[in-house]
Structure 1
Amino acid sequence: MANLAELDMYLERLCGALGHMDRRASLKDYCQGLMLPIARKSVEPLAAHINPTQVRAKHQSLHHFVAKSAWSDSAVLASVCDHVKPLLATDTGHYWIIDDTGFPKKGKHSVGVARQYCG
């Protein structure tokens, strides 16, 4: 339960960087969907698992947030950086491991889908 409270506080911090109050629920839903134990993480399966009784509406909401909503990825990344930097001080015992490993793609029929580097 404490982890959920921490996640909610973290997402609230990110919501502050979105610029408009209407985007808050979509960000939280999208992040929740990305953490679900499902194979496909595209908008449609996320919508189906987040709100099974209103899949079309949730799909439209998530798609708008991801593809058309005018929020700044730089502002969100700056918010993440502001949150993480204090934890990376050398005297805290926390370490930042950077790995360029990619994920193998599964599709064969979509344009641009090919196996990606996965070291």
Structure 2
Amino acid sequence: METQRDVEIWTAWFEAFFARIAGLFGRVEPRLTARAYLKALMGAIERKNGWQIAAYLGHRTPERVKGGRAWGVDRLRDRVREFVVEYLGHPLAVLVLDERSFLKKGKMSVGVAAQYAGGTQRTARSQSSRRTRPSTDGH
């Protein structure tokens, strides 16, 4: 359960994090949209897909949320790592990418397709998920 102090700490971390990446967005409009998008990801939206987030932010389609201008993914990665090390991590920590597949029987879930599902070592109707986790020991 969150306490008022937890919320204050998380708010300060979010502001510090966004201040670090804000310069990656050339204009104020995409910067504000990116900030709102990140807050929506952490918010109370039940399903966090492009359409739901767009509706939450008051946009008719997800296209407006994604923005039209590319920004430096390498610079973003570097700034996220700097933030994680400074606020949450260890100087030798790395983020480990973990890809998982979830077998699906229905046809209503977004992203379901016949694709290689590593856990089953075969092609099946599944969704793929990518997650990161910190590691300081290489595992």
Q: TM-score, normalised by structure 2?
A: 0.56
1:81 Cα deviation from its structure 2 partner: 2.1
Q: Which residue of structure 1 lines up, in the alignment, with residue 132 of structure 2?
A: none
**Structure 1 unaligned regions, length at least 5:** none
Q: Aligned match of 2:10 in 3, 8, 14? A: 3
Q: Which residue of structure 2 lines up, in the alignment, with residue 113 of structure 1?
A: 112
Of Structure 1 and Structure 2, which has the larger fraction of its residues in helix?
A: 1
- Contact 1:104–1:117, Cα closer than 8 Å, also in 2: yes
When Rg is computed on C-alpha atoms for both structures, the one with the higher figure is: 2
Of Structure 1 and Structure 2, which has the larger fraction of its residues in strand?
A: 2
Q: Which residue of structure 2 lines up, in the alignment, with residue 89 of structure 1?
A: 91
SS at match of 2:112: coil
**Structure 2 unaligned regions, length at least 5:** 1-7, 114-125, 130-139
Task: Provide the C-alpha distance between the structure 1 equivalents of 2:95 and 2:72, rounded to a whole number of angstroms.
Answer: 26
Q: CA RMSD for the aligned pairs?
A: 3.3
Q: Aligned match of 1:37 in 12, 19, 44? A: 44
Question: Is the counterpart of residue 76 in structure 1 residue 76 in structure 2?
Answer: yes
Q: For this pair of structures, how many residues does the alignment match? A: 107
1:75 Cα deviation from its structure 2 partner: 1.8
Q: Which residue of structure 1 lines up, in the alignment, with residue 96 of structure 2?
A: 98
1:65 Cα deviation from its structure 2 partner: 4.4
Q: TM-score, normalised by structure 1?
A: 0.63
Task: Provide the C-alpha distance between the structure 1 equivalents of 2:45 and 2:14, rounded to a whole number of angstroms.
Answer: 20
1:109 Cα deviation from its structure 2 partner: 5.4
